[in-house]
Amino acid sequence: AIWSLANTLQVRLHPAGMWADVQRLFTQPPAIEQAVPALFLLVVIVATPPVIWNVMAEWDATFVPTKDGLCYTTMGIRLCCQWNDIVNIQPTPVSAEEDVVLWLRYDPASTITHPLRRWLHRQYHGPNRLVIGTGIERRAELVALIEQTLAATRSSFATTAA
């Protein structure tokens, strides 16, 4: 797509000539026949890496419930959250065809040190959320366990608060 974009805008990719060609684009904007395909190719170039990351992250994702909480691992990222940090689960009731969203008290991506991985993680999950995709192995059992644990956590919190 990069080469097609360069050909569409008639920009040389060699560093010696590219700067002059880019300057030319600002002084003589491309015609509509060039601008429309160039914008389409630019969208493809920008959108493809996050889409590939999201597909691979969902494919590689594992959720492991522990005594203290839930651990999520994918593509070198490991995030663990305590049960009491899970605020809500959506949709209610959970459907087999939809992703399940766990809403958290904090943004788990803030613990990811690598800035690109943190950004890509936020693009897929959003802030303060973990998404359990439809392709997760034994998903129904996992969601049932999360719902049971959340109900138990809420009832014990209500008992101690009263």
pLDDT at position 35: 80
What helix, strand, coil percent values describe the chain, rounded to 5?
Answer: 55, 20, 25
* More confident position, 138 or 16: 138
Distance CA 67, CA 69 (A): 6
Alpha helices in 67-114 (DSSP H): none
Tens of pLDDT, residues 144-161: 999 998 888 777 655 555
Which DSSP letter does residue 1 get? -
CATH topology of domain 61-161: PH-domain like (2.30.29)
3-state secondary structure of 154: helix
pLDDT exceeding 70 applies to what percent of the chain?
92
Place of tokens 């303060």: 128
Report the 10 Å Cβ neighbour count for 102: 24
Sketch the domain layout of the chain as residue ranges. Answer: 2-54, 61-161
> pTM of the prediction?
0.71
For the segment 5-42, what is each residue's pLDDT rounded down to a tens digit? 666 777 777 777 887 877 887 788 878 878 888 888 88
